[in-house]
Amino acid sequence: MPLWLIITLVGVALVIAGFAGLGTILLWLGLIIVLTGLVTAVLAQRRIRR
């Protein structure tokens, strides 16, 4: 499984936990991790195409 996919899945799980009422810090941390995973995915796709 690619690293960017694992990072995105962990981020989504933290966002869901944040929305479930476990704390706003989990929500923000999850959003940051999801964005990091998406940026990593885009960069990986650019490297493959070159």
Q: What integer is the mean pLDDT of 5-26? A: 80
What is the distance between the alpha carbons of residues 15 and 18, in angstroms, rounded to a whole number?
5
Report DSSP state, residue 1.
-
Q: Is the pTM of this model over 0.85?
A: no
Q: What integer is the mean pLDDT of 14-36? A: 81
Distance of CA 27 to the CA centre of its chain: 11
Residue count of the chain, please give it. 50
